[in-house]
Structure formats: C-alpha cells, structure tokens
Chain A
C-alpha cells in the first residue's frame, strides 16, 4: 500500500469542485467491513471516549498500586508500574490513549515524587520511554488493524470475483456487483456501459438511477479523466479494461466518510474493473457464439444445398419418370402398372413434403427467432395428432399407446412437440422391419413427464447414441432408406426449447430395439388452472 494519497493508475479522487485530491492515505479508522456508515461512526466515537476513560482508569489504578512504593521511595518500581500501564494501554488502545497515559503517568509521578530531586532523571526517563512505547505499540497495533482491514478487503474482492465468475448473464453480474457494493459501502449502484450513442444503463437497472444531465456530465468527466469522481453522495468509478474505459459504476447514497481512504477507493475500483471484465467476458462469449452460429449457418447452407440435390432430386426424378411414362404411353400400359406408377408418385411426393418440412423446421429453429407458444396440453391429444399425420406410413403396424388417463397436462408448444413425435415415429418406421410394433408411453416423474417411444428394430449402438442427434448425421441404413439427417436434430432442438431433453437408450425390457426418451418439465404456473378446471367438471354433474 502506498503512503501517498494518490495511488494506482486511476486512483485519483477528484472532488466535484475539482479542488481536493481527497484520500488522506493515513487514516486508520476507515470503515471497510463496517456495514452501515452512520451507525458505524457513532459507535466508533463512543469507543474513542471509552478508550480514553479506560486510560485514565488504568493510570489511576497504577497510581493506587504504586502509592505504597512511593511512601517507601521505591521509585524504580513505581516507574515500572507506570511503564507497564503505558505499555498495556498502548497495546490495547493505540497511540492516542498511550500518549495520554504517558502524560498522566508523568503528571502523577511528578505530583507524588517532585519533592525528591533524585527522581528527576527517572521522571525524564519515564516520559521518554512512555512516548516511545506509545508510538511503537501504537504503530504495531495500527498495522494489525490495517492487516485485518486488508484481509477484509481482499475477502470482499474475492467474494465479488467468485460471484462474478459464476454469473452467466448480465443480470447476474449486475446483481452480484450491486449486492457487494451494498454490503461493503452501504449504497446503491448502477453499471453504465459505453455504447456508440453514449453511456447506457446496463439492464435490469432496478430502481431508477435518475441520470440527470448533471449526473451524466460527471460520469463523462470521470470516464475522460479515468479517475474516480465524487459529487456529494455520488461516486463515479470508471471501469477500465486493457486501459480502455468501458463504462462506470455509479454509486448513489454513499457516505463520504465511508470512502475516505485510498484503500476503499481502490477496493471500489477493483470492484468496478472486475465487473467490467465480467461484462467483457460475456460480450466475448456472445461474439464467439455468434461466430459459431454464423459458421454453422454457412455449413448448414452448404450441406443443405448438397443434400437438396440428392434428397430432392431423387424423388423428383422418380416422379418425373413415372409421370412421363403415364403421359407418353399411358394407353399402352396395363391398369396394374399404371396404379403402381401413380402410387410411387404419391409416395415420392410425400417424401418430398417431409424433406421440405424438415428444411423449413431447421431453418426456423436455427434462426433463433422461433416463438415457443406454450400452453397446457393433454399429451394424449398431441400423440393422437402425430399418429393421424402418420396414418398412412404406420398403417401396417400395431401402435400400443400407454398414457395414464390422469396424467397431468404439460406446458408445451403442441405443434412443435407433435413435430418431434412425428419425427421420432417416422424414424422408427423407417429403420425397423415393416410391420413390427411400436409402443408409445408416458409417465409422471414429478418434475418431469417422460415420454418414451420404443421399437423392435436393430437398436442404436452405444457409440452412436449421441451423434444421431447431430445435424446431417445418417445412420448406416439411412442412405438406402432416405431421410435427411435432420429429423433427430430437430427433435433435440425442440426438446431443448421446452427446457427438456431427448435421448436414445436400450429398451427398458432388454429386448432388441431402441427406446427414444423425452423428458419435459412438468412445472408451469398454469398447471394449477387445469387442476381447477378438472374440479369444476366433477362439480356440475347433472
């Protein structure tokens, strides 16, 4: 710690009047660690009085003890008793009381022993030793106090940076800073960020920071000068990252005496810079994500284009082929072949429809501006819709549905969840032997509703269970059976949009086949409403 009041690159504290570089740097009695300025100060004043009274009492006690020795003119021991008192006072109460103790001790000694001129050197000695002791022990004590304060400060800083490290949103960062500033300095604060169009309050601002033009002028000045600026109870602490000001912490309601020392200002600066770094980290993280997003989008577009040429052209080619056959030689081919051709056209058209839908879904999900319209739905109904859409492709299979009739309603975007179920069921029908059964079941796991779709196909090897959810990943059989490699990626995205998860596992009964499991959170505020509706229904029985 520097002894100068002007420390650290940005350690100037300029008073709003622009005159006083204020931190004194020497004060010991600063109040870091004291929670609330006013209360803290009055107790410290009271403590000063008590310590001086204690000093007087200590010297009086020493006099009492020394009195019999005076009578025996045992001055050496009297001095020792007084010295002991001075030392004790110095150790316990600091320099001021120790000095008082010395003066009092000398006065007592003088008034009792002045008649004896032999005691004059002793008298002088007592005075000198007393003062030295007072200074030394006082300094020792001051250092101990400073050490403790330092400890408290680094603890505060540590707590703050730990809080900031865990904060993953701007709101969380602001919350952490606000909480710590409130705790250490007992005032409210706001973060202001340098944006292209000036200083902007980082949301959520909480209570109104009341940024009057005057306040903004101070803020701009603090930034320009890169120094802490104080105006009455307001304090402007610039946030500096890589010697560039990125914003400032604006404190209001701070007590000047609470930040009277350099150490405290430096702590506040450290707070500000930590907050700045945390904010910067978020911005960099966002940028990195954005870049990754762009890279993904470009890659998606490329893969989409190449996959389009295959996935779209194959059915198109077959449609064109079948139709031209029908047009050119329709009369000469028999009815059976004709029907066959027409069915194949229809199948390919359906296939194309799925491809287009998947592409649209992916772009919609990728674009990030998809609105999830959550409402309470009965799972039964959504499953029913998915099955209706797949009526034709699942016609040959037995579908076993096990949904408890009392399963609670789930908050979801029914269109999206239906799409997820359609994709999973399409998958099941594509990769399992024709005619093999598929089971759909749902169960309430308190915080989760688990939906499972199990099939009797070859299952998915453990090594591939995660990659199948990646975009454009195709299983070994996919090339032959079509499929865009998007279906499961869409499912994953939809589940995540709902705060849920979808994954694949072995069948729970151990039989060969795959089990696709979806967990959807079941807690939602509207849930109570559905319970209410259920009760109403039982009430009005005719």
Chain B
C-alpha cells in the first residue's frame, strides 16, 4: 500500500461529441463507471472550442453531426490536437469512416456497438497515443500465439519459426506498429508499397492472405490479422 501512496491513478479526460441525447447519456454513464472523466459536446463547433480550452486526452467523435461533417472536424482537430480520435459512425457511412481515418482519426466504432468494444478501443488508443507514431520499432512483440523479434526479424507462431518473404515481413511490421488499432488500406499500402500504390488494395489482400496462411490456424477465421471490411485491417493486441 505504501508504495502507491502519492501516485494518483491517472484519470483520462475524454471529450464525447454526439448530437443524440440518448447516445450521449449511454456514453457518459458507461465511461464514468469505467473511471474516465467525460466532457460532452453536441455540435462540431462546440467540440472544437471545448477541445482547445479543456485539452482532452481523447476525443470520441460522431460522424453524423448537424453542423460540420466528421471528416472536416477530424482535419481541424488534427491541426493541433495530438491525442487519439475515435470516430463513431452509422452503418450507412462507410465512406465517411474511411475518409475520417485517412484524415487522421485513430479508430472507429460502428453503431450499434457494445460497451466491451467501446472500452477496448479507448484502451488501445490511449495506450498507443495517436497514430503519428510513438510505437517503438525494436524489441519483441507478442500477441496470442504470435511472437515477433523485431531486432532479428524473427517470426514464430506457437513456438514454430515461420519464414516470411520480405514484403510479408514489412506488412506484418506495419501492422505491429499499429497493433490493436485499425489501419486503413491506404495507410498500409503507403507504408509497405509506397505512395504510388495507395489505390491497389487488391495487392494488399493477396499478401494478407499469404500472411494469414502462414500465421493463422484457420485463415478463413483469423484470430490475429482481423479484417475491417472495406476499411482496412487490425492486428489483435493483448
């Protein structure tokens, strides 16, 4: 007991931007119960003002706001805000979601979502900071059955060493840099293949399929390299 004396547990401050009262209430109650400090905003304008004065650690942003579209809000926030942004979208806004991610949002949730999903996203986002890349490139990365020694480029699954091609390794490495968070097709293509190939998502699918065949027990039901349909991929992180 004495050891922790004086070290207050960090209480993260979250800004919830949502125009629907019921959704706001659900988010407020759930987040407070789980130990977060919550500030609410109902419009984009209000959100931008609050974000500037109150400096939240993380922003949860609904994409269907009445005054500004979500992608613009993400862009405006990203001019100075370095904390993680999680966007919330309805199912009919697939395109907006991807654009918001490419504009600098860190992750997304699709309505309706459960508490577990919400909290997991927030945890991962806070752990990694924003996607501008605080992730280390060295050391050992481990999740589930997968172990990657990034200094020695050594990959093993259930203790068995796995041989990857150079591109496959680069792809896996990019996924590790964003472990736990969704990475859009464009982002992966840019990081692994370069700017000229950002539109060639089918390339990515070919390699992802090859990678899964080497790393997953059942490639049709992946447990590590998860698909976020029409958005990108997510590497599971423990």
Any chain B CB within 8 A of the CB of A50? no
Chain B residues near A533: list those with CB within 8 A: 202-203, 206-207
Q: Does A340 contact B (CB under 8 A)?
A: no
Measured CB to CB, the closest approach of chain B to A408, in angstroms, equals 11
Q: Which residues of A contact B229 (CB under 8 A)?
A: 382, 385, 414-415, 418
Q: Are B165 and A381 in contact (CB under 8 A)?
A: no
Interface residues in B48-106 by Cβ distance below 8 A to A read 91-92, 94
Closest to B90 in A: A360
Is A378 in contact with B209, judged by CB distance below 8 angstroms? yes
8 Å CB contact of B221 from A401, A526, A536, A537: A401
A207 interface hit (Cβ, 8 Å): no
Cα–Cα, bound, A373→B98 (Å): 14
Query: Is A375 in contact with B165, judged by CB distance below 8 angstroms?
Result: no
Chain B 145-168, CB-CB to A under 8 Å as 1, else 0, gives 000000000000000000111111
A409/B202 contact (C-beta < 8 A), A380-B209, A415-B94 known: yes
Give the tally of cross-chain contacts (CB within 8 A).
Answer: 83
Distance in angstroms from B156 CB to nearest chain A CB is 16
Measured CB to CB, the nearest residue on chain B to A534 is: B206
Q: Which residue of A lies closest to B213 (CB)?
A: A405
A contact face: mostly helix, strand, loop, or mixed: helix
Residues of B within 8 A of A385 (CB): 227, 229
A405 to chain B, nearest CB (A): 6
Q: A387-B221, A401-B221, A414-B229 are in contact. Are A381 and B201 (CB under 8 A)?
A: no
Closest residue of B by beta carbon distance from A541: B165
Residue on B nearest A440 in the bound complex, by CB? B220
Q: Is residue A383 contacting chain B, with contact meaning CB distance below 8 A?
A: yes
What's the minimum C-beta distance from B123 to chain A, rounded to whole angstroms? 20
A507: Cβ under 8 A from any B Cβ:
no
Per-residue interface assignment for chain A, residues 515 to 541, with 1 indicating a CB less than 8 Å from any chain B CB and 0 otherwise: 000000000001001100110111011
Q: Mark A331-360, 1 if CB is under 8 A from B, else 0.
A: 000000000000000000100010001001
- How far is B167's CA from A7's CA once the two chains are assembled, in angstroms? 78
CB pair B206–A380 under 8 Å, yes or no, is: no
Known: A349-B112, A357-B91. A388 touches B226 (CB 8 A): yes
- Cβ A409 vs Cβ B221 within 8 A: no
Residue contact A530 to B202, C-beta cutoff 8 Å: yes
CB distance from B184 to the nearest CB of A (A): 14
Q: Give A291 to B94 CA distance when docked, in angstroms.
A: 32
A489 to B220 Cα, complex, angstroms: 26
Chain B min CB distance to A525 (Å): 12
> B203-238: which residues lie under 8 A (CB-CB) from chain A?
203, 205-210, 212-213, 218-222, 226-227, 229-230
Contacts from B to A (Cβ < 8 Å): 91-92, 94, 112, 163-169, 200-203, 205-210, 212-213, 218-222, 226-227, 229-230
Binding site for B on A (CB under 8 A): 349, 353, 357, 360, 373, 375-378, 380-385, 387-388, 399, 401, 403, 405, 409, 414-415, 418, 526, 529-530, 533-534, 536-538, 540-542
Would you list the 8 A-B pairs with minimal beta carbon distance, nearest first? A376-B202, A533-B206, A401-B220, A378-B209, A540-B166, A385-B229, A380-B220, A533-B203
**Given A382-B229, A530-B202, A537-B207, 5 further pairs, Cβ under 8 A:** A357-B91, A360-B91, A384-B221, A537-B167, A540-B166
User: What are 6 of the A-B contact pairs (CB < 8 Å)?
Assistant: A360-B91, A377-B205, A378-B208, A380-B219, A405-B213, A537-B207
